[in-house]
Chains A and B, each alone.
Chain A
């Protein structure tokens, strides 16, 4: 199935980007993508051209990611699997860098299902219906997750801002 492999290959940069944003950790992200690609190769005989290869891959990547988080959570007992904290921005950072760090931090504070939804649409440019398919939820649910994610990001960014500024 060389054609399918080529289609998969074309999605790898996007998968890496999405995985990086989900995990906020370059190595972890590539591990995740590798697991996803290996699973795709293993299951490629089961692939049905009902949707896009891209949606199939994102779905698989998310399943693996969620299982990883669940396993970690189990291993650590009550702790929620965390993502490594963002490097604190230097006091002399430009305002735009400050805003980026706030956003990065706020993204990590989102419930995973909101982060997954928002990133599919904003970062990966999926349509609402494609993103809803990837997440196996109705479009209305997708939009409400995105709405809640945006509201929370705004709140988190607002509450971070004064604290960061006072560092200057």
Chain B
């Protein structure tokens, strides 16, 4: 698509149609279009697409918003619905934000400390055992991701979405089922281009109590761990704390 005087590529035509070119480039594209009827036709077709899409759906934004989508009501309902434990978890996050400027709430929920210690030590032990495995690092490999999610969701008796960490450079290797003190646990393994592995360890939360983010480290391994009403998670890896924190944040956001 680059016949004509100025070099015009398809990207320029797209940007032209989407109205994101500066004035100079825009006039170059216009000059090009007047000399290239075929491209001009393409651009017109794209403009018609824009028109049709806006006509089809544009009006939705003009409609009155139903009350169930009133954000203040939703926030209010959640405030009223939150028991002391939820408040405690929220307070822990606030404390973390306020005190550390990050995520790290130190012992804000001391009563859970024993359970958390178990979660992290299990997660780290599982990481040490399997992340160094070359031949069989996982039971079910990434190509069977859908099967893996179904299987582990069934075994843990709650829906698990396998987080996608590719935007941070980590591909899913796969996952496995593990015993955790008589209960089932799931482990998902990810790996970056250099072969560095992180694992996500998940057990069902027994009592629906939520917990803010915590950080622990032991013998070169680091972990961020948290729990919501459904699952307790620990992300484990031998990588800088800040990088792990970013991954954990991403993971947390993707897990319901």
Q: Footprint of B on A, CB under 8 Å?
A: 5, 8-9, 12-14, 16-17, 20-21, 29-30, 33-34, 37-38, 40-43, 45-46, 60, 63, 67, 70-71, 73-74, 99-100, 103-104, 107, 118-119, 121-123, 127-128, 136-137, 143, 146-147, 150, 153-154
Contacts and interface: CB of A to CB of B under 8 A. Distances in A.
Nearest to B153: A74
Contacts of A63: 253-254
A137 B161 CA distance: 20
Contacts of B54: 122-123
A65 B99 CA distance: 35
Contact of B167 (A37, A67, A128, A136): A136
Interface residues of B, number: 48
Report whether over half of chain B's contact residues are helix, strand or loop; otherwise say mixed. Answer: helix
19 contacts: A12-B71, A13-B62, A16-B60, A16-B63, A17-B58, A21-B56, A30-B68, A45-B90, A60-B253, A103-B53, A122-B53, A128-B18, A137-B167, A143-B11, A146-B14, A146-B18, A154-B42, A154-B45, A154-B46
A67 B45 CA distance: 33
Q: Which 4 A/B pairs are nearest by Cβ-Cβ distance?
A: A103-B52, A13-B61, A136-B167, A17-B60
Interface in B121-170: 146, 149-150, 159, 161, 167
B57 A20 contact: yes
B56 A13 contact: no
B95 to A, nearest CB: 11
Contacts of B150: 74
A94 to B, nearest CB: 12
Given A8-B71, A30-B69, A67-B256, A119 B61 contact: no
Contacts of A43: 253
Contact of B49 (A17, A38, A136, A150): A150
B36 to A, nearest CB: 17
Nearest to A127: B20
A129 B252 CA distance: 24
A17 B61 CA distance: 5
Report whether over half of chain A's contact residues are helix, strand or loop; otherwise say mixed. Answer: helix
B52 A99 contact: yes
Given A38-B74, A74-B146, A143-B14, A123 B97 contact: no
B72 A73 contact: no
Nearest to A71: B159
B230 to A, nearest CB: 13
Given A40-B71, A74-B146, A150-B49, 9 more contacts: A12-B71, A13-B60, A29-B60, A30-B66, A63-B253, A107-B53, A128-B20, A137-B167, A146-B18
Contacts of A121: 18
Contact of B69 (A34, A100, A123): A34
B57 A123 contact: yes
Given A13-B60, A41-B78, A46 B249 contact: yes
Contact of B71 (A41, A100, A127): A41
Contacts of B97: 45
A34 B161 contact: no
